[in-house]
Structure 1
């Protein structure tokens, strides 16, 4: 997965530089077949730092892209799940990879115990979230906050684009009842969720308090992403489970890891309200905020 993501990133940088594969191969003094294997993340390719830096220089890559690509290349050489804490300035590099995966996914499943998922947040709700300390964006840096909020809003276009992914969300009842900001912010936010639920590719279900102990209680928030099938009926990428913390994230793609999170998701699915019941509860809580 990581090799293919890295290959696609290098391909995008090459194309942004206005170079064909033949032109880039000639200037890098490599065979076209070699560059093809690099951009396809072939298993036998070693992403040596010197080679990657040469490509980044040819493609005139910016500092942020270079930092991300070099970190990914280093991780392929370590041959392990990679843990990103390359915060630097602006948005963290590990989250940039997530955005790429999210955009490529055909199916996204999200569990949220505390907050409305970013793909469903209103701007006002997101502003409240990014004012809190302990996240990857400095709560005192107003410019960075606004960049992050704008990115969150723009990401939501994913749900209405051509060939949009299927989004399935399970959220705890606490997400709906815990005020974020004032009552008007919550009313707007809950109505935004109801609006999103009208999309044919979006499903939102609620885990009531009365559901009791469930498998998600042991995990915290996570996302499971599945990817489109190729002409042979195989996924272009293996499924990925994404877990995020305050200063980094982990990407799980081993079969036993995906199986474990699929089992957790199945347990919560069995316990959650169905769509109609969830919609009714969200409407009820929105009314409660309206009269608060």
Structure 2
């Protein structure tokens, strides 16, 4: 999220200076693709102080903006986010941005049609998911598997950290009915969901088969991330809708795009069981797996 804020500030300064990206790249003697990566908050961009100062001088940045951007870019050199240790080991590069956004979000809403969301998965359940074709690892990669599961466990700590995000989840009934692994794994997983719902910042609703056709049937699984507001009540980041596929992901942050997913969410939330009835259904399913 820090890099996205840096990129947005640089883009704003460039436009205020009346420069196109091509003009700025030419005057800075840098590739247009490099400026594009900076303004889009790419994770792998390195901010050398001399390069940052050159951009600030070209854009005619104020002393206040210069001081802020020099401090922000310095932070990217000095601090290493915890997930960097997993790059190349079960963490696709297109997923890195999501991890950063998730860590900075104040409210995360997730709809899943087939799987328990990663933030609620047990290690045993996650292992079954990762072993499937298209998962993060193959059947032989035991070390990759260990690190991928460890990453998922690390991500889950954000739910119990100081000032955690609000997590709102809607799951299709298929998520609790379709066995993943054996009955022991499923019983443990459903009990894990119930345990998570006891946290004050976690809610889970089940969209039952009897709800019939719903808006999520057209969209598939997605997440909506919202971010804190500053002292003036302004969002530090615009909301983002995240859609994941087998080989990549889509990040949507234009107002009309996130508005569309808010509408989809509202339709599903109105059709899903409330929290209490959802917990009862999950508890019932867990007991069925335990006695199977």
TM-score by length of 2: 0.75
Which blocks of at least 5 consecutive residues in structure 2 are unaligned?
8-37, 58-62
Which residue of structure 2 lines up, in the alignment, with residue 4 of structure 1?
5
Q: Quick one: distance in 2 between partners of 1:134 and 1:99?
A: 19
Question: In the alignment, is the contact (CA less than 8 A) between 2:4 and 2:42 conserved in 1?
Answer: no
* Distance of aligned partners of 1:227 and 1:145 in 2 relative to their CA distance in 1, 3 Å threshold: same
Deviation at 1:139, TM superposition (A): 4.4
Question: In the alignment, is the contact (CA less than 8 A) between 1:136 and 1:247 conserved in 2?
Answer: no
Alignment of 1:49-198 (within 5 A): 90-198=90-198
For residues 75-133 of structure 1, the C-alpha deviation after alignment (integer angstroms, 9 at most, x for no partner) is: xxxxxxxxxxxx96642111111010000000000000000000000011001111101
Question: In the alignment, is the contact (CA less than 8 A) between 2:205 and 2:274 conserved in 1?
Answer: yes
Which residue of structure 2 lines up, in the alignment, with residue 259 of structure 1?
259
Aligned residues: 246
27-36 or 275-284: which moved more? 27-36
Q: Quick one: distance in 1 between partners of 2:277 and 2:130?
A: 31
Q: Quick one: distance in 2 between partners of 1:142 and 1:200?
A: 36
Which residue of structure 1 lines up, in the alignment, with residue 235 of structure 2?
235
Which residue of structure 2 lines up, in the alignment, with residue 80 of structure 1?
none
Deviation at 1:27, TM superposition (A): 9.0
Deviation at 1:290, TM superposition (A): 1.1
Q: Quick one: distance in 2 between partners of 1:168 and 1:92?
A: 25
Deviation at 1:262, TM superposition (A): 0.2
Q: Quick one: distance in 2 between partners of 1:230 and 1:204?
A: 28
Deviation at 1:184, TM superposition (A): 0.6
Q: Quick one: distance in 1 between partners of 2:99 and 2:207?
A: 27
Which residue of structure 2 lines up, in the alignment, with residue 25 of structure 1?
49
Q: Secondary structure at the match of 1:235?
A: coil
For residues 38-92 of structure 1, the C-alpha deviation after alignment (integer angstroms, 9 at most, x for no partner) is: 7769xxxxxxxxxxxxx99x8799xx97xxxxxxxxxxxxxxxxxxxxx966421
Q: Quick one: distance in 2 between partners of 1:199 and 1:29?
A: 46
Q: Quick one: distance in 2 between partners of 1:5 and 1:243?
A: 24
**RMSD of Structure 2 on Structure 1 (CA):** 3.2
Q: Secondary structure at the match of 2:169?
A: strand
Deviation at 1:28, TM superposition (A): 7.0
Q: Secondary structure at the match of 2:213?
A: coil
Which residue of structure 2 lines up, in the alignment, with residue 212 of structure 1?
212
Deviation at 1:257, TM superposition (A): 0.2
Question: In the alignment, is the contact (CA less than 8 A) between 1:91 and 1:137 conserved in 2?
Answer: no
* Distance of aligned partners of 1:268 and 1:223 in 2 relative to their CA distance in 1, 3 Å threshold: same
Q: Quick one: distance in 2 between partners of 1:115 and 1:106?
A: 23
Deviation at 1:3, TM superposition (A): 3.6
Question: In the alignment, is the contact (CA less than 8 A) between 2:52 and 2:70 conserved in 1?
Answer: no
* Distance of aligned partners of 1:136 and 1:212 in 2 relative to their CA distance in 1, 3 Å threshold: same
Q: Secondary structure at the match of 1:127?
A: helix
Which residue of structure 2 lines up, in the alignment, with residue 200 of structure 1?
200
Which blocks of at least 5 consecutive residues in structure 1 are unaligned?
15-23, 42-54, 66-86
Deviation at 1:246, TM superposition (A): 0.6
